[in-house]
Structure 1
Amino acid sequence: MAYSQLRIERDGGVLVCAFHNPPHGYMDRVTVEELDRFTAEAEQDGALRVIVFCGGLPGVFIRHYSVEELQALAERLRARGTAVDPETPIPERQIDRVFNRLGAMPQVTIAAMNGTAMGGGFELALACDLRVGEDGEYRYGLPEVKLGILPGAGGTQRLTRLVGPGRAMELILQGRTLSPAEAHRLGIVQELAPFGGAVELARRIARRIAAQPARAVAVCKGLIHLATRTPLETGLAQERTRFLELLLSDTALERMQEMNRGARDITA
């Protein structure tokens, strides 16, 4: 499938998707439409294990969502007399569907943040399962409050689940952006690569994940996400159930037999 803003490279079970929207590297309507098509197709690919997202322009992961598009949308809606009732939720939009899919799909998603990632670009990274930062003169964060709006594609919810309400308040209410090193110290990015190294580090992580049994990885991913939105008792019940399901699988039995006869080392 052809894309105008996505550059796709595949190596076995690992796929790298680079964002390419020159000159500024903004996310816009086309980016979201292409991501929707790409992720919907990738989700159905049983041989695909890990997707790495990265920036395709120097110094930029995704700079932020196009403010020109947001301004045009605001002007159109105001001209129509659109009003919003805070008690009536807005239906899921295409961008919500895409970002939710990144966490729900069986493949592991990794954001290799090899450049500036703010606003919608940072929200996409937050929607991924793992984030790899890169040391450099880049900024990560959610500065939307400075425009009188809020992070509207999951930022208030996903950042809070990641760093806790106090830290999320500090960052979002000030529109504060972070250096990659600060994001690493706060646990927003799990790994920090040297300058120019985020994509390669993400590839190495992806290859290690892809080497594990696919079903076990997908179930673990689902349970970890479940832990952020359900009571402990519910999560533990699911964990017990899925443990037995995997224990009875051919893959698990074969690998345990190999370990018990000294043919498999799980400590490496």
Structure 2
Amino acid sequence: MSAPLQFSLQGGVAEILLDDGKVNALSENMLEQLLAAIAKAAETDAALLISGRPGIFSGGYDRKLIDAGGPACDAMRAAGDRLTLALLDYPAPLVIAATGHAMAKAAFMLLLADYRLGAEGDYRVSLNEVAIGMTMPDGAVLQARARLSPQWLNRCVLQAEVFASAGALEAGFFDELQPAEQLLERARAKTRQLAGLDRRAYRETRALLNAPLREAFTALQG
């Protein structure tokens, strides 16, 4: 099976590119490889940029596994919870460039980054769990409450509203938008800029900012 992502490290900046040739579904295999790449970047204390292939960041969890349920679905969700903690605990700047659609778990990934850039256009961003018949998990609600403005919670979490890029910016999924052809260049520049900040101060302040959400999320894991 070919790798669904690419990893590179240069000049203190690591990049992870999600590209399974399809919708970058967060299957257990994709998640385990993503977790391994994040751990590899963390070991070097590199600033980290995560992006997707043109037109798609990720469609979220593998829908076929969700529909089937059972142990494989449980393993995927467990890996997804470990991803949440890995992103919260990352020891250096973390930037995500959404190169296109970002649905469900992928949209939650955006909420866990330090800086989020999106491609301009009619790309869909949504916490669509309710729309596909899923009760929003407790841990997901915690993340939404912590990272989205209160006036957007009902529309994002309860009503499963689907936003184009401009609406996603207003709702709080993105910090800025860029034309697709300029997105990665701008994201790399932002990652380098954050990497230039005092690393000890950044790491310790990031941990303080993330501590309430991390503690609440961990408590749910039992």
What TM-score do you get using the length of structure 1 for normalisation?
A: 0.71
Encode CA deviations 1:94-151: one digit per residue, 9 max, x unaligned. Answer: 2211221111121221110110000121122222222111201201111111221034
Q: Which moved more, 1:220-229 or 1:131-140?
A: 220-229
Match of 2:29 in 1: 30
Name the structure, 1 or 2, with higher relative contact order (CA <8 Å, separation 6+): 2
Q: Identify if the C-alpha distance between structure 1 residues 156 and 228 changes in structure 2 by more than 3 Å, giving closer, same or farther.
A: closer
Match of 2:220 in 1: none
Q: Identify if the C-alpha distance between structure 1 residues 127 and 152 changes in structure 2 by more than 3 Å, giving closer, same or farther.
A: farther
Work out whether residues 27 and 62 of structure 1, in 8 Å CA contact, stay in contact via their aligned partners in 2.
Answer: yes
SS class of match (1:93): helix
What residue identity is the alignment partner of 2:146? R
Encode CA deviations 1:156-190: one digit per residue, 9 max, x unaligned. Answer: 22222122344212222221111111121233211
Match of 1:17 in 2: 16
From 193, 198, 208, give the equivalent of 1:213. Answer: 198
For 1:62 and 1:27, the matched residues in 2 are separated by 7
Q: How does 1:106-121 map to 2 (within 5 A)?
A: 106-121=91-106
Match of 2:55 in 1: 59
SS class of match (1:196): helix
Match of 1:68 in 2: 64
SS class of match (1:106): coil
For 2:159 and 2:126, the matched residues in 1 are separated by 11
Match of 2:188 in 1: 203
What residue identity is the alignment partner of 1:95? G
Identity %: 25
For 1:150 and 1:41, the matched residues in 2 are separated by 34
* RMSD (Å) for aligned C-alpha atoms: 2.5
What TM-score do you get using the length of structure 2 for normalisation?
A: 0.85
| Structure 2, unpaired ranges of 5+ | 216-222
User: How many Å apart are 1:15 and its aligned residue?
Assistant: 1.2
User: How many Å apart are 1:229 and its aligned residue?
Assistant: 7.3
| Structure 1, unpaired ranges of 5+ | 78-91, 231-268
Work out whether residues 125 and 168 of structure 2, in 8 Å CA contact, stay in contact via their aligned partners in 1.
Answer: yes
User: How many Å apart are 1:154 and its aligned residue?
Assistant: 4.3
